[in-house]
Structure 1
């Protein structure tokens, strides 16, 4: 069974390093790449009907922009012969990455390490740390 290498993709240098490593693994194992771009979206409890319409329209625009952002990377990877899929989602990155991993065959998650102010975040990154603690599949945090 071929592996699916799920890569958290936001265009940063750290995610590009994670993608490069996932591509090496996919090439070595005959696996596929699944790029995931997650737009964080906090629900608001009290919104008027007009605010809800505006918010929905903004959400649709942001998803379209994110899909345009991720597509050149997908196209480049496909040209190299890899099987590549992608998706853009709204919500909590950790929860969604775990949810996506459950739907993929023989999955593994790859994320880049990003620094933050707290020691644990400097060492791993908040998304990486959260995934390591809660993912149903192996997680690779790439420095």
Structure 2
């Protein structure tokens, strides 16, 4: 079984990670794929110089996400004897997590409820709500 865990770099993501760790520990065989998404719109018109700077920023953001969020998360899981890997991407959070889960053949997506924002985001978080409504595999939302 494969589980995709969506992390947000906040304490809410730690709840999703801990839930997935407990779930995987109770299974005979489970692979955990820890995912971090950097919101990114492909719809931007820029000069060649701006595009080069944008590419450099993307690479820096990926490096920071790996160092601060994903590598520690994978270490926590592997230290517990679990099989884990990490993926960082730019794009729409809900669509990209769903695409990763589908591509990887995941059985489930685990995310945390967002704690920031207005009324609609207080319920789930807009990205989480979109993921729950549109994902091709079951989504567990940890609060």
- What residue is the counterpart of 1:112 in the other structure? 112
**TM-score normalised over the length of structure 2:** 0.91
Deviation (angstroms), 1:126: 1.4
Deviation (angstroms), 1:89: 0.2
Q: For residues 94 and 106 of structure 2, what CA distance do their matches in structure 1 show?
A: 19
Paired residues of 1:25 and 1:31 also in contact (CA < 8 A): no
Report SS of the residue matched to 1:81: coil
Q: For residues 63 and 56 of structure 1, what CA distance do their matches in structure 2 show?
A: 11
The list of structure 1 runs, each at least 4 consecutive aligned residues, that deviate by more than 4 angstroms after superposition, is none
Q: For residues 45 and 80 of structure 1, what CA distance do their matches in structure 2 show?
A: 43
Deviation (angstroms), 1:96: 0.3
Q: For residues 61 and 106 of structure 1, what CA distance do their matches in structure 2 show?
A: 28
Q: For residues 106 and 56 of structure 1, what CA distance do their matches in structure 2 show?
A: 30
Deviation track 1:62-117 (CA, whole Å, cap 9, x = no partner) reads: 11121112112212211210000111100000110110011123421111111344
Deviation (angstroms), 1:23: 0.9
Q: For residues 120 and 57 of structure 1, what CA distance do their matches in structure 2 show?
A: 34
**TM-score normalised over the length of structure 1:** 0.91
Report SS of the residue matched to 1:16: helix
